[in-house]
Amino acid sequence: MSPNGKTRGGKVIPSNNLYTVILGLACGVVLATAVFVAYMCYFQYRTIFEIP
Amino acid sequence: MSTLTKILIVLLTISSIFLCGIVVTYVANADNYRQMYDDLKDERDAFEENVKGLTKQLNEKIGEKQRLEDKLNREIASLTIKIEQLQSQFKIVEAEKDDALRRVNSWAAIVRDFYETTDEHTQLLKNTLAEKIRLEAEQIKDRKELNELTTSLEEKMAIIVMLDEKTKRLLEDKAELQDRLDKYLQQIGKRAAELVPVTPKKAIARPVVPPARDIELKGLVTAVDLKNSMASISIGSADGVKEGMKFHVTRGDEFICVILIIDVDAEEAVGVLELIQKQPKAGDYISTNL
């Protein structure tokens, strides 16, 4: 965590909401990509983790 | 928050978005190998089914072909036997045919000789008949001339007998007159001189050339064939009819037609009708001169 961060009652409180939003966007994009890849795998091969 | 952290956050976000975009693009454009596999599998199954069906049909055809081959082999064997039998029969028939041909040739030669002999005899018979007809005509003509000569000879013999009697009487008269003359001249002492005939001796008699006269033949039409424009007449070569003569056919005062003689027999002749004015019939008069 950033040395400039504030700790309030054991919870991490971001010091800047803008970069938090950017990180959230990056996580969302990765998650959406994972969901899309999982959907395509299941749609095409009827399985996600196994080799047909 | 330090500046480095901020830069890292931004770079992380940008790289995440970039990589996720690449992944999404790749996954979206990736081939559906399962679908392709299923399609190929279905196609292979269909091909296998076709192969099974074709193999079954091939087996059936092979069995049928084997049956047909066996059947044809049996038929070929039976036909081969028949061919051998027919060849033997053909040889026998060929020998019989040669024999028959030889006999036919010999019979043909015999028949040809027979026909030649028949033709020669027919020609000889025709010549003989023509000669007979000609001789009959000449005989009839000679007989007529003989009758005329006999009559003329009898007349001349009668004249000769009469002249002989006359000559005898004249000689008797001459002898009597000579006696009387001798007796008379003896009384006056003279003698009669040799007598010289006033009429000179005639030369040897020569045959007299007969005067020319017109041919005047007359007769009747005996038969008419209007279909072929032919007619026959009642006089023939014995009466003087010759080929090429023309006879005028009349009925009363009517002129009927002309007959041109083309064939002459002893007692009749046949000719072609020409210049037909009316239909001729048997019984019409014919003559060479109108």
Closest residue in A to B5 (Cα) is A2
Mean pLDDT of A21-44: 93
Q: Do A23 and B17 touch (CB under 8 A)?
A: no
**Closest Cβ opposite residue B16 in set A3, A29, A44:** A29
A2 close to B (CB below 8 A)? yes
A17 inside 8 A of chain B by CB = no
Check pLDDT > 90 for residue B144.
Answer: yes
Q: List B257's β-bridge partners, or say none.
A: B249
* Alpha-carbon span B140 to B215, nearest angstrom: 18
Chains A & B: contacts with CB separation below 8 Å = 51
- Six-digit token pair at B234? 């009642």
Cα nearest neighbour of A3 on chain B: B1
- Cα B63 from Cα B18, distance rounded (Å): 70
Domain at B218-287: CATH code: 2.40.10
Rounded CA-CA distance B106/B214 in Å is 63
Q: Does A7 touch chain B (CB under 8 A)?
A: no
Contact residues on chain B for A17, CB-CB shorter than 8 A: none
* % residues pLDDT > 90 (chain A): 40
Mean pLDDT value across residues A30-44: 93
A4: pLDDT strictly greater than 90: no
Q: Which pLDDT value is given to residue B7?
A: 93
Query: Does an H or E element contain A11, and which?
Result: strand A11-13
Helix (H) or strand (E) holding B219: strand B218-225
User: For residues B158 and B205, which has the higher predicted lDDT (pLDDT)?
Assistant: B158
What residue in A sits closest to B28 (Cα-Cα)?
Answer: A40
Helix B3-29 / helix A17-45 crossing angle, nearest 10 deg: 20
**In this complex, do A29 and B20 lie within 8 Å of one another by their Cβ atoms?**
yes
Return the residue of B nearest to A32 by Cα. B20
In this predicted model, what pLDDT tens digit does every residue of B41-67 receive, in sequence order?
999 999 999 999 999 999 999 999 999
Say which residue, B94 or B206, is predicted with more confidence: B94
- pLDDT score at A1: 43
| B196-206 pLDDT, tens digit each | 767 766 666 66
**How far apart are alpha carbons B257 and B274 in whole angstroms?**
6
CA distances from B172 to B112, B116, B161, B175, B177 (A): 85, 79, 16, 5, 8
Would you call A6 exposed, middle or buried from its count of C-beta atoms within 10 A (0-12, 13-18, 19+)? exposed
B77 C-beta neighbours (distance < 10 Å), count:
10
Q: Report ipTM (2 d.p.).
A: 0.75
How does residue A6 score in pLDDT terms, banded at 50, 70 and 90? low
Which stretches of chain B sit within 8 Å of chain A by CB? 1-2, 5-6, 9-10, 12-13, 16-17, 20, 23-24, 27-28, 30, 32-35
Residue of A nearest to B29 (CA): A40
Q: What is the pLDDT of residue B202?
A: 64
Tell me what pLDDT residue B161 has: 94
Q: Smallest Cβ distance to B10: which of A22, A32, A33?
A: A22
Minimal C-alpha gap between B70 and chain A (Å): 55
Residue for token pair 């005062």: B253
- Report pLDDT digits (tens) over B213-260: 567 888 999 999 888 888 999 998 888 888 888 899 998 888 889 899
Q: Where are the domains of chain B?
A: 218-287
Mutate to test the interface with A, among B2, B3, B5, B22 (most CBs of A within 10 A): B5
Using a CB-CB distance cutoff of 8 angstroms, which residues of chain B are in contact with residue A31?
A: none
CB contact under 8 Å between B34 and A40, yes or no, is no
Q: Which residue type, as a one-letter code, is found at position B83?
A: I
Angle formed at CA B272 by CA B267 and CA B273, multiple of 5 degrees: 115
- Determine how many CB atoms are found less than 10 A away from the CB of residue B281: 14
B162 φ/ψ sector (left φ>0, alpha ψ -120 to 50, else beta): alpha
Distance from CA of B36 to the nearest CA of A (A): 10
